[in-house]
Amino acid sequence: MHNKTLSEISSGLRNGDFSSEEITRHFLNRINQLDPQFNSFIAVTEEQAIQQARQADKMISAGETQALLGVPFAHKDIFCTEGVLTTSGSKMLENFISPYDSTVAANLKRAGAVNLGKTNMDEFAMGSSNETSFFGPVKNPWDVTRVPGGSSGGSAAAVAARLAPAATATDTGGSIRQPASLCGVTGLKPTYGRISRWGMIAFASSLDQAGPITQTAEDAALMLNSMAGFDPKDSTSVDQPVPDYRANLNDSLKGLTIGLPKEYFASGLDPKLENIIQEAISEYQRLGATVKEVSLPNSSLSVPVYYVIAPAECSTNLSRFDGVRYGYRCAEPINLEDMYTRTRSEGFGDEVKRRILIGTYVLSSGFYDAYYIQAQKTRRLIQQDFVNAFEQVDVLMAPTSPSPAFKFDEKTADPLTMYLEDIYTIGVNLAGLPGISIPAGQLDGLPVGLQIIGNYFSESKLLNVAHQYQQVTGWHKAQPID
């Protein structure tokens, strides 16, 4: 049963092929048996999941038909979930039990979905490899000597290994799309503001966006239907109606114009990986699409701009973790200053401390104008490049990652090399656009993802474009273990 997609599970529950409790227990057993080798979960909520499944079965028997009713999934451990451990992958929150649900958690609970547990992640979502988690690295199910990507590596690995049919995730600079690419699954980063950030532990508030990781685009549409929507508790949430994202999945792609950013196909991209991406684009041409080269002239500035803005916002957001109100507190502090200093020194990992220091520096007097303001001005130029491109094309296509999954410790010694893993994804976050990564091939037995970028609030079009590709190819069906 673990090979079924989210949509197939939903249909099977409605048809009475199996019960929610039955399939929930199946996934829980699979997690208990297989996850010790992957470390994709921080917490497994077995008792709660079975209770939710039993309640869902009663509702299904009573004739209720919500699409996610009784369907199992997993939460990235960045979403506050009432009564459940919520750590954000950090020692700082290793014992924090959330007293409330995030909006995303509440929406999925209201839809009747069954939460299997909380997935592992880079600490406070800071990382591209899932090596910074306090709870240990997540291992890629395709090759356990390699990383699954980050920061949503736990969610991507769990879906790839069929430990869960779907999982929530977050994307600040590519943290849904990049691990989706490295693990061979589908990952959707919606338009900024499409999904509420309330109750999602903040990293960089102007960049963070929740989204789903699934096996297929159809499943991503199913998840997005329940996750999206306006939330008055989130000042950045957009008050715009939520369409049925499944309604246009089967639309023809004839007449679609695809833009290929020439800067994304330049030096630094593995030539073998580029060939895989070009073959995927050729498949779209066979489906009736046309291709046009476009330019994003300021895209080379995305990484440096991101690593000014994101650390600045992280420095501010993480100032709340001081040992006073909740979370980790150092033992026997001498005074208040000692408590602050030792709590933060002991509670945060190296990558988090590095970004806090960078962020504090660029926001400090004398450097704010030189770094932070200039980064924000350049961010506007990057956004305008995308606006100009979408005046000519319907979607953009590019690699998701410059290489397949790399080995553990291969890039941790050089943070700048690690940061370049997000070179094709960061611009989408800076501009607030939607993007999706879908499996498009394999290189040396490792998955390769195709990234599709859309204009604002064009998630329906992205899902349609992705779904049509998955109807004529089988890369999304490939799995690392039975």
Tens digit of pLDDT for each residue in 193-207?
999 999 999 999 999
Separation between Cα atoms, residue 297 and residue 385, nearest integer Å? 7
Rg of the Cα trace of the chain? 21
Could you tell me if 273 and 448 are in contact, meaning their C-beta atoms sit under 8 angstroms apart? Answer: yes
Give the pLDDT of residue 26. Answer: 98
**Fold adopted by 1-482:** Amidase signature (AS) enzymes (3.90.1300)
Report H helices in 318-425.
336-347, 350-363, 374-389, 415-419
Catalytic residue list: 76, 151, 175
List the structure tokens of 181. 């690419």
For residue 149, count other CB atoms closer than 10 A to its CB.
Answer: 35
Kindly state the percentage of the chain with pLDDT values over 90: 95
pLDDT the model gives residue 417: 74
Query: 453-462: per-residue pLDDT in tens?
Result: 999 999 999 9
User: With 90 as the cut, is the pLDDT of residue 420 above it?
Assistant: no
Q: Tens digit of pLDDT for each residue in 318-345?
A: 999 999 988 999 999 999 999 999 999 9
| Cis before 151 (ω within 30) | yes
Which is nearest to 199 in space by CA: 121, 321, 103?
Answer: 103
pLDDT at position 153 is 97
Cα 208 to Cα 204: distance, rounded to the nearest angstrom: 6
| Least confident residue range of 22-36, 240-254, 260-274, 413-427 | 413-427
Where are the domains positioned within the chain?
1-482
Q: What is the pTM of this model?
A: 0.96
Per-residue pLDDT at 1 exceeds 90: no
Per the CB < 8 A criterion, the answer to whether 447 and 233 are in contact is no
Joined tokens for residue 232: 């008055």
Is residue 419 very low, low, confident or very high in pLDDT (cuts 50, 70, 90)?
confident
Helix (H, G, I), strand (E, B) or coil at 140: strand
> In whole angstroms, how far apart are CA 165 and each of 75, 118, 249?
12, 14, 20
Q: What is the pLDDT of residues 339-358, one digit of tens each?
A: 999 999 999 999 999 999 99
Q: What is the mean pLDDT of the chain?
A: 96
- What percent of the chain is predicted at pLDDT more than 70? 100
Predicted local confidence at residue 413, as pLDDT: 74
Six token digits for residue 6: 């989210």
For residue 158 the two structure tokens come to: 């769990």
Structure tokens belonging to residue 31: 């997690």
